[in-house]
Structure 1
């Protein structure tokens, strides 16, 4: 989408420069370029967090959480192509780890549960919530030292 927008903007600039060059009175004319305001339903913690490949479904989940909580989620981790976990949805750009400032973990999870297209919802003991578009499941995980999930369960039922 960004590449398409860049291409369209480049074409617009080329056409406007051509129009200025063809002006009969040889005076450059001011050309008003369209103003693009792109608002997203989430913020990114650092520039190294990769979110450009998020699917519309994952972006919809994040937008739903933003609408339900009244605050934009902060994505702390997005696409991780070299994730050590083979089944990680982060490898396929279908997962995001988020925080929502001023909102409790349980409120974020409650909002995520009602999101259309939600798959996995995970809670980590450091306050980060994982959401993805995979199979429906829910878990709590507290680090490598425990070597196990505190709780994990599959949720059956139809996808929203």
Structure 2
């Protein structure tokens, strides 16, 4: 089932990210001088000030460092509840997306999942989501179905 989602912002800096996602590639802007990833994309590196950058591929793997369950509807066509996770990629940058097919847990190993979707402006495309990398058993005592936030 293709879900209707809010149209992503695609300004001059973000457009390249979304073009790669449409091809099911996870790439982020990276400074050619100090090798620091820039996310969100920026005109200059926040560490060294260099303006040159290239879009480097990421492995698409990481682990959950924060999560929340949305019980309130912010978008009329997106059914609740749904899990939103902050993922620290293996390369370092933090990316946020929905967690598909698992209850959220800190430390959960995940991999990117490109979801085909229809946007509310009538266009179609892909978005970056997350799914469990392998079965994971948390040692935490978190209550997974309570409206709790670690973001």
Q: TM-score range by the shorter chain?
A: under 0.3
Which of these two proteins has the greater Rg computed from alpha carbons? 1
Larger fraction in strand: 2
TM-score normalised to the size of structure 1?
A: 0.24
Higher relative contact order (CA 8 A, sep 6+): 2
Higher helix share: 1
